[in-house]
Chains A and B, each alone.
Chain A
Amino acid sequence: MTQHRFLRSARITAAGLAVGAMLLTGCAATANKPAGTDAAANAGAFLTIPREDMGTFVQNFNPFAPTVNPMVQQSIYESLLIFNPAKGDTVPWLATGWKAAEDGKSITFTLRDGVKWSDGKPLVAEDVAYTFELQKKIKGGYDYLDTVAAEGNTVTFTFNKPWSPALYDVGQLTILPKHIWSALADPEKDANAKPVGTGPYTEVDSFQAQSFVLKKNPNYWQPGKQKIAGIKMLAFAGNDGANLAAANGDVDWAPQYIPNIEKTFVSKDKEHRQYWFPATGAMINWQLNTTKAPFNDVDVRKALSMAVDRDQVSTIGMSGYAKPADCTGLSGNYETWKNAEVKDNCTWTKLDVGKANDLLDKAGYAKGADGKRTLKDGKPFEFKISVGATSSDWLSVANVIAQNLAEVGVTAKVESPDWAAVVAGYETGDFDSGIVWSANDPSPYKYFNTSMGSATVKPVGTKTFDNYHRFGDATADALLAEFAAESDESGQKDIANKLQEEYNNTAPLVPLFSGPEWGAFNDTRFTGWPTEGNPYATLSVRAPTTVLVLTTLEPRK
């Protein structure tokens, strides 16, 4: 009896669902309207941006959260200054100016007048001092920072040693309101669901797991620059969904990696769609574990580097979007810092199979009768390249390198477990070689410090979070110390030139290519995007420069 009833009701349900589905089809067909093109619709439209690596959002706008919601540090909170890697210039933001002390042991920032928090209270120097106090307490770092003193409208940062890299380090931290955060019992654990910031779009609206909107800050200090009605973020669990939305014209900004972008994105609407991938990302390096033979031999590192066809690496691995490295090791982020002498007389980052063979022969790694080289102890010249399984682009890069190396008689095996396992190996020094990003900062100090500064070298077995390849160099140490103590930028450039010479001599790692910063846009509804011709910012939505884009865009009329 029960079953009979069950089956009968099931039949009814099935029929109902079928009818329902048909009805819904009708509704859905009208829901997909094309984006409006008339001025009035554009003026009220939200700038729609996909977030490709968060399947859902949680209402948490705490900037201390490790996986912070999008736009918290771009549109809600602002920093003292903004460094724009696309142009290499620095834009004063919450501070109008700054001055480093003669001895390099302090910097004084002057705050902009008339900046208000979104709740109407004025931004004061104590806010800045408090932010650093909180940041040090919750997240750590800033070990060089002794005191942060607020006085009138100036804030002075004092260091425990001359430390010039501090300018961008402190200058780019987003500032929080003391009157809100000091009232919280557990600032690091508060969801900060209704954030109060100085940024252009701070008011959280219609928050859902799959999308949320940020509306205009009613008290913004540049009201003339809030030309869009608001920002709408959409959640996607991967690039595919976000790419589909971009191809379909449902989003205005597409900051994620889009394969074959000319065909899949631009060709659908050539008039309105553009992309720009400036090489301002971190340098992507092939790191060789220099605690192991034969990677402790500079000639081997240079020879292996010469065997790599970087054009092939870029075209096959990175769809041709990446810019091959040169001997300075610096990515496109540091174009103004590059030593022309080193860059123009570059040898070991250019493909030269003949020279690579010569160098290896000379270094004592002879080719056997089978065309394969052996190490000095007679073992075959064989090692692994470890890359995380999910990074398909870097995996192809590793495969290209392995093929290139076969031509000089060196066998490389690509190993691709989960990233967690790969990184665990990097951290303890238990790896042969791997493909690794590098530090990316406005000043090149950090890159050189983590690629060849002894201070960052830890013994094998001890965990380290940078300098996985464990290479330290005394000459570089001296230069790095000089650099940190030099507060004058032209003086810094001289030292940076010497650092590049040292880098060129020692080849601490094998630089491959400057990581491109992905970015594409659709200007059907909003105009004023940064482009190669007008590089006032990059097209990234997670960079400090993002706020420059948000305050420049305007609805199409």
Chain B
Amino acid sequence: MRGTLSDRMGAALLMAPLLLFLVLAYAWPFLGVVKWSFTLPTPGLGQYHALLTDDLVQSVFIRTLRIAAIVTLISVTAAYAITVVWVRGSPLQRVLAEFCILVPFWISVLTRAFGWVALLSNRGLINTWLQSIGFISEPLTLVRNEFGVIVGMSHFLIPFAVFPLASAMRSLDERVLLAARGLGSSRMRTFWTVFVPMTRSGIIGSAMITFVFSLGFFVTPAILGGGRSVMIAELIYLRIFQSPDWGLGAAISVVLVVFVGALMALLFRYVKPKQLV
């Protein structure tokens, strides 16, 4: 197939517009951001030094990692529970599970964050209800804090965590499960010793997607954290628009890209990309 000059010319002509577009609109400006991180406000490594010494930046990094880990744990577990029914349930159960996964998936991140504000705020549904049954006298603070951020992010990420799990569960040979049951293994035991280990690649893929997404997540933490539970992405936004401290914002961006890239490289050494989707 390949080889003739006209073939190569044809390929180059067809592929050029998109490649050129992304080089000009994405790769080149990213290098500009890298340049900012070394030159603003003064040339040198000052911004990177600040990253290592600034208490605020450090605490935001640690908080981001902590929240990302908690959200990953919650999302993968919850996604696992609903994916089992989506993939292996009765026809009716499957339709219902699919509805519950896909409807939130297609609804915008803003609408979903707003829904959580409506549920969790002081005069929201949950506090109103708890007060009306006399369970509490003062409203609980459920939002504008880390709790709200974790709830909202998990809600956003569960559908994303579902897809790698679903593909792992679909490709699983169910005769193995039937064999385990036929040999006298209980439901629980079959699940923990056969089903879960055989869907391991799905669990890893799902955890990776959730974790990487959580690290750069902006909208949900900004709305549900209410400025009190700032994560890396919001810190970048604040540095660029409120301080304005473009150099530090750019340096944090560069570190975030390097960190995410290293995570993915590490993962791909152990898992082939094809096993994840």
Is B a genuine binding partner of A? no
